[in-house]
Amino acid sequence: MSAVVDHIVGLITSQEGFDPETFDPDQFIRQFDDDTLQEMYDLHVREEDYKKFNRFKTLFPDEGPFRRQLYPKHTEFFRVGKKWRERCFMAANRVGKTVGGGYETTCHLTGQYPHWWEGKVFHRPVRWWVAGDTNETTRDILQTELLGEVTFDGARKTVDGSGIIPKDCIGSVIWKQGVQNFVDTINIKHSTGRWSKLSFKSFDQGRKSFQGTAKEGIWLDEECPEDVYSECLMRVATTRGILMLTFTPLSGMSDVVLSFLPADMRPTAE
């Protein structure tokens, strides 16, 4: 019980505005019996678990300090997906590009579209690729953002569901050979009761690794080589699918960057 008491006291004293001169947490705790303290502790643990394993439902809310209204570029990016097959979220570092890409990817994989959604909608499970620069950065950034940390369920290696994709939507995993703890393909539960398939790739695997079957969607995080981009366009050509890019243009005026710039922003030859 001492651990439970210490946990509750820690919660009280960590609150913003806590003043030990006006509030004695130990005296507050003494007015409750052990059963009540345990109930308080269990309730808090359940609330924390819900927030940890249901990040998707906390993003872009109607109200509060992170309300959707404060992210007009993100919501515009989502909205224009209804019209455009190719989209690019090109912006500075640390502005939430990856969160935006991960959020939309989760909507399509799970079929769980928020009430305010005006973008592209798929009415069935989807086949989806997510790719970054290298196997390692894709694993450490994109895989973690979507699926959470690698863990074990008994002897079975899996992911803990602390990413954007809700824990209760995560299914069986096939692990990539040759790269530790890197998911190759994972089943994601769709709202229809069937399964979407999410696969992870990287640009350093080369264009040929992006050949293959049709996909409903592809999300490329970081600027990719032009030949990889062209190959990805072929994968969504027959499915009425979408191709999303989210990156900071660190390579300057590359062909991929130029393809998304309006004519009046493109450099002219002297």
Q: CA-CA distance, 169 to 187, in Å (whole number)?
A: 8
The angle formed by the CA atoms of residues 99, 134 and 252, to the nearest 5 degrees, is 75
CB atoms within 10 A of CB 90: 15
CB 196 within 8 A of CB 188: yes
Q: Quick check: 149 and 164 in contact, CB under 8 A? A: no
Active-site residue among 104, 145, 216, 222?
222
Per DSSP, the residues of 100-143 read HHHHHHHHHHH----TT--S---SS--EEEEEESSHHHIIIIII
Examine the residue annotation and report whether 86 is marked as an active-site residue of this protein. no
Could you give the CA distance from residue 22 to residue 141 in angstroms, rounded to a whole number? 44
Nearest-angstrom CA–CA distance, 243 and 233: 7
Tokens of 133: 């620069």
CB-based contacts of 159, cutoff 8 Å, min separation 6:
143, 147, 148, 149, 150, 151, 170, 173, 183, 186
User: Residues 252, 256, 259, CA angle at the centre, nearest 5°?
Assistant: 110
Q: Mind telling me the catalytic residues?
A: 222
